[in-house]
Structure 1
């Protein structure tokens, strides 16, 4: 089976407790206004074999503290996500998955009922809402502890105050960040402009197309 991947990275320290594997899936049908990851919306690109993906992950899994899966929209690749999660669960690491779908629409799915996901963050990002809670882009989003492992690993972490934390990764052509920036990219873009650096970023486009 194939899966569409935007990017992966280890370690990620801003999307859950400890040093985590970050997996961003490619393709999203929700298109939240003000999304900071519009580059992950397009479908049918960046296809890889799940078997090849597993080989890469095997080098990181023994040393990581957990896995965070985002996107894109993970539930738009439901069958591939099930196969990936079944593999990841064999390593007994806590797994956090983000989805922009409502929990009412997800709660009866096999992925949610099976125990393959320890913590699920649901609901679409809403740029009109406040942002006061850790790991959430907007306060309308909901955290669901789906297993006892998820609750034990995340309950105390989520009670900590919201902080300005981002993992920064620089390549010759791009700068990309892992984490949930407070107020999205607005403050970052403004600070860059004040230092004579112009950033082109996906959140600058705020209208759905």
Structure 2
């Protein structure tokens, strides 16, 4: 019997969260809720309930063209059973690399990672910290760590163990059937604020999912 999973969305291609053209899978539900997160819509639990079978069926069409798979959220490690089940199914279908983002520290997710037995090639760990600098590739704030868990992970992701360049600060833009716009990538600290101000000056009415608590002022990686 396939496991249930709370899912926010899937998308292909994603070009801003790892090398090549990637399948993006965002889990729904997050217990960490970092101040400054742009993805508050992925925090609430109990939404987007589906099955691993349905997720795998949905992404199978893209696997032949995908260079990799990026899993984020929400918080994937808040659903460890579903995460491991999904990883096993994907690994049986593709040799593409797998990158996972988690806001939990390494010490909290290490047991689940060990149980994955090489199913995750690279892992970004640690909470987004709105007060930290944003100078490193593939990380929303510099306190986060990029770990290589397999030989493929080292080969594919070692080039990202460096400062990010301004040319790389791009975002994937996605539109859904309701007319909502989604951004995937690692924006600069004030990019989202500038975009909002620009659209509002042009007369657009904009509702966003970023964290508007007084302590927020940046964006998390999604």
TM-score range relative to shorter protein? over 0.9
For structure 2, list consecutive stretches of 5 or more residues without a partner in the other structure: 216-222
Match of 1:167 in 2: 172
Stretch deviating more after TM superposition (88-97 or 21-30): 88-97
Match of 2:219 in 1: none
Is the aligned partner of 1:193 residue 2:174? Answer: no
Match of 2:112 in 1: 109
Distance across 2 between alignment mates of 1:126 and 1:77: 22
Aligned residues: 208
Match of 1:43 in 2: 45
Match of 2:218 in 1: none
CA 1:109–1:201 in 2, change beyond 3 Å: closer, same or farther? same
The C-alpha deviation readout for 1:55-112, integer Å capped at 9, x for no partner, is 1121111110000000000001100110100111121111000000011212233456
Compute the TM-score of the two structures, normalised by the length of structure 2.
0.87
Is the aligned partner of 1:136 residue 2:139? Answer: yes
Stretch deviating more after TM superposition (50-59 or 198-207): 198-207
Distance across 2 between alignment mates of 1:197 and 1:204: 20
Aligned residue for 2:66, secondary structure, equals coil
CA 1:132–1:191 in 2, change beyond 3 Å: closer, same or farther? farther
CA 1:108–1:149 in 2, change beyond 3 Å: closer, same or farther? same
Compute the TM-score of the two structures, normalised by the length of structure 1.
0.92
Distance across 2 between alignment mates of 1:112 and 1:106: 10
Distance across 2 between alignment mates of 1:19 and 1:84: 20
Is the aligned partner of 1:153 residue 2:156? Answer: yes
Aligned residue for 1:9, secondary structure, equals strand
Question: C-alpha displacement at 1:157, in angstroms?
Answer: 3.9
| RMSD of Structure 2 on Structure 1 (CA) | 1.8
Displacement over 6 Å in runs of 4+: none
